[in-house]
Structure 1
Amino acid sequence: MKTLIIGGSATGMGVAARLRRNDPNMEITVIQDKDYVSLGACGLPYFVANNFDNKNNLIARTIEEFKNNEIKVISNSKVKSIDFKSKKAFYNDQFEQYDNLVIAVGAKPIVPNIKGVEADNVFTLTTLEDGVNLKEKMMNDKNINKVAIIGAGFIGLEMSETFSELNKEVYLLEMESKVMIKTFDEEISELLESKLKEKKINTLLGEQLVEIKSKDNKVSSIVLKSGKEIEVDAVLLSVGFQPNTQFLKDSELEMNERGTIIVNFKGETNIENVYSAGDCAVSKSYIDNQDIYSPLATVASKFSKVIADNISGKENEYVGSIQSAILRLFDLEVARTGLTEKMAQDKNIKFKSVFIKDKDHTNYTPNQKDIYLKLIMNSETREIIGAQMAGSNNSVLRIYGLAALIWQKAKVNNSLEQIDLPYAPPFSRSVDIIHIALSKLNK
């Protein structure tokens, strides 16, 4: 029995590793378009910021290590097409036969179709090569002093901090009226915007890039839809991701309008013995079982184990995601889990929410800071369905406990209001912000 995996990132190598543990005799082959596998892409902003020098720190496990476990990796090779009837994947004028196929090709950064986007010093940040190239330019090219970041999502915000630390003048461009408004509600978005302003990041909201101008093929300025033109020396595109499924466009594989592969809770596609997960496929919402697109390493890691188990004959299902996420922007930490108010409204869920500002610990221990919590409850079931936090001193790690409450579908009542949380003066106050929020929801 042979399993062929297309793609060597979190999903693909996660399937390979779990499969080998499940079945020592399974023939496992991975086709990867790079000369490495298992890239920890979330670390790229910190590599560019020069938090560490060795790029190989971003590789969780090498090709040689996989080969030592009898997992064959065909590197620097890109699959061009798949014949699902004959069970063949074609690459480099060759093909690989399979019994089970896992499509884990991930996603690529969206590059807008605008004039000038091919100029030198226009960057993306997804691959190891991207990171090495961007770091080399930022560290060594003395002509790059002003950088425009297009898109204020996770990468855009993290790179605002990175470029600022590298003493660059930063322009952060966002089409929406608020920063990360699809991820957080307004209260947290406004805290992020305040931090950007405090750190002198030039934030332009409700603006759209329409052209990149250049001199001698190097970026010289950006032109916005509003007519503004801003002189910059480099541009980082961070406007989102597009599933890497163009080579499957005319196949019988079921995909949505974005080219995202449709799978069920087992990772199965509409074609027998063909599986998919990760940034190229839909995942599931734990709250209402609906399809969602959640290109997160945490989702890929869990779903890969489910696929490997099912290929091995061990029944397993991916139960879903509550899209938990966390971000540091300079000294501001923000975190979220579950639904935002906007998400709840779109799902026609009746809800009650509270937003609390408090202190992260007692005033007689050093470095007391503000902490913020938004808690959202389904008014009909009284289950907690969403939480968002902001603070510093690692205080937002309280989100782990709140994610567990959402996961267990905890109902707000007198018992939950009395939940026994740990207390010591350096860490919290005797009545924690979580207690305050639960009390207000329970009224």
Structure 2
Amino acid sequence: MKTVIIGGSATGMGVAAKLKRLNEQNEIVVIQDKDYVSLGACGIPYYIGHNFENPETLIARKIEKFEESQISVISNSKVNKIDFENKKVIFEESQISYDNLVIAVGAKPITPEIKNIDAKNIFTVNSKEDAIEIRKTINDDSNVLIIGSGLIGLEMVENIKHSTAAKISIIEKADRVLKNLFDEEFSELVEKEILNQEIELFKNNEVIEFVKDNNGKVTGAKTINGEIIKCDVVILSIGVIPNTSFLRDTDLELENNGAIKINEYCETNIPNVYAGGDCCSSLSYLYKNTRTFYLATVANKQAKIIANNVNKNKSSKFVGALGTTIIRFFDLELARTGENRMFIDMNSIETKEVLIKDKDHTNYVTGQEDIWLKVIIDVKTKEIINVQMIGKNKSVLRIYGLVGLIWSRSKVDETLEQIDLPYSPPFSRTTDIIHIALSKLI
């Protein structure tokens, strides 16, 4: 049995490794558009922030190691077309046949149509090459403009601030930061920290043109409000879209955003063709709606599901995801899980919610800090459908327990109110913030 995998990141290489473990006789070929595989792209901001020195640390496993396991990797090759009828993948000047095909091409950064966006020193955050160039370019005298205030944008801000004396500005099209993930109360706390760090934040604003000098290097960004933001380095962190443009006008079914439609077995509408990771839409755990998660955790789980089903048809199901996310922003730590506000409002789900501000541990121990917790339940099911937290000193790791409550579909009632959480002065208070929230929801 010959399996061809398009894409050499988390899903693709995860499928390859698992398939080989399941059956050493499986013939596996990976087609990758770069000269490396298994890039830990989530580490890019931390390389730029000088948390480690060697960019090769971003590579979880080298091509040579896969080839030692008899997994063939065709590198520096971009797939141009798939002939689904004849089971052939066409790339560069070659083609290869398959019995099973796995599409794991991931997502690509959104590059907006802005005048002079081709200027020098305008970067995306997507590849090892991006990481090396950004780190080499930014210095203490740089004026860095971050476009977008989502997770990647804020991670870039933190790491550039920690590693250089560069002046940093953020421009955000929405009326607040992290709008797609957190409610307003949490955005306000993050924005306060942005100001505390002496970072200029432009909200309800966007770049319409980049200014460049005679050498083609960016020197400024003209906004829709008319001002020109001085910058010699620009980081595009607006978001990503599925990297599936080569699949349009084929028989493969895609969502409106280009994500590949898959079922619970990670099968597409075409027999023997599977997809997973950032290039596809996936089931949401709670309401079984489809979403594109763009999360490495989801990609890794789907790699296992795909490999199991290629090895033995329909033997493994992907049950869904919650979109659980955690981020550090200077001293602040944020975590969230569950359906977002937009989905809740669009589907007119009747909810009850509580927002609690408390302390993360007792005043017997130094370093006591504020912690905020929002819990939203579905009134009809009495199940938790959204949790948001912000705090310091890893206090938001309570999210692990709350994810467990959501995953098990626990009812918010008097029994759950008495959940036996641990207590010790350095870690919590006798009545933890989780207990307080549950008490107010029953």
**TM-score normalised by L of structure 1:** 0.98
For the residue of structure 1 that corresponds to 2:42, the secondary structure is helix
Q: Alignment partner for residue 151 of structure 2, among 141, 150, 154?
A: 154
Tell me if 1:79 matches 2:82: no
Name the stretch that deviates more: 339-348 or 326-335: 339-348
Q: Alignment partner for residue 167 of structure 1, among 159, 165, 170?
A: 165
CA contact (8 A) 1:360 1:427 kept: yes
Question: What's the counterpart of residue 347 of structure 2?
Answer: 347
Question: What's the counterpart of residue 25 of structure 2?
Answer: 25
Q: How does 1:231-380 map to 2 (within 5 A)?
A: 231-313=230-312, 315-380=315-380
For the residue of structure 1 that corresponds to 2:386, the secondary structure is strand
Structure 1: how far apart are the matches of 2:71 and 2:228? 52
Question: What's the counterpart of residue 437 of structure 2?
Answer: 437
Q: How does 1:41-120 map to 2 (within 5 A)?
A: 41-120=41-120
Structure 2: how far apart are the matches of 1:395 and 1:427? 8
Q: Could you give the per-residue CA deviations for residues 31-53 of structure 1, whole angstroms, max 9, x where no partner exists?
A: 00111111110010000011110
Structure 2: how far apart are the matches of 1:417 and 1:341? 25
Give the aligned residue type for 1:208. Answer: E
1:163 shift after superposition: 2.0
Structure 2: how far apart are the matches of 1:68 and 1:429? 52
Give the aligned residue type for 2:410. Answer: A
For the residue of structure 2 that corresponds to 1:11, the secondary structure is helix
**TM-score normalised by L of structure 2:** 0.98
For the residue of structure 1 that corresponds to 2:337, the secondary structure is strand
Structure 2: how far apart are the matches of 1:32 and 1:266? 24
Give the aligned residue type for 2:151. Answer: F
Structure 2: how far apart are the matches of 1:190 and 1:29? 49
Tell me if 1:34 matches 2:56: no
Tell me if 1:207 matches 2:205: yes
Structure 2: how far apart are the matches of 1:424 and 1:342? 38
1:345 shift after superposition: 1.6
Number of residue equivalences: 439
Gaps of 5+ in 2: none
Gaps of 5+ in 1: none
1:10 shift after superposition: 0.3
CA contact (8 A) 1:340 1:376 kept: no
Structure 2: how far apart are the matches of 1:86 and 1:212? 46
Structure 1: how far apart are the matches of 2:20 and 2:347? 40
CA contact (8 A) 2:138 2:233 kept: no
For the residue of structure 1 that corresponds to 2:229, the secondary structure is strand
Give the aligned residue type for 1:238. Answer: S
CA contact (8 A) 2:34 2:77 kept: yes
Q: How does 1:395-414 map to 2 (within 5 A)?
A: 395-414=395-414
CA contact (8 A) 1:326 1:333 kept: yes
Give the aligned residue type for 1:241. Answer: V
1:22 shift after superposition: 1.2
CA contact (8 A) 1:282 1:291 kept: yes
1:65 shift after superposition: 1.0
Name the stretch that deviates more: 417-426 or 239-248: 239-248
Structure 1: how far apart are the matches of 2:158 and 2:233? 16
Structure 2: how far apart are the matches of 1:249 and 1:176? 30
Name the stretch that deviates more: 317-326 or 342-351: 342-351
Q: Could you give the per-residue CA deviations for residues 175-200 of structure 1, whole angstroms, max 9, x where no partner exists?
A: 11111111111111111111111111
Give the aligned residue type for 2:174. Answer: E
CA contact (8 A) 1:33 1:78 kept: yes
Question: What's the counterpart of residue 135 of structure 1?
Answer: 135
CA contact (8 A) 1:372 1:389 kept: yes
Q: Could you give the per-residue CA deviations for residues 271-323 of structure 1, whole angstroms, max 9, x where no partner exists?
A: 10001111111111001111101110001000111111110015111000000
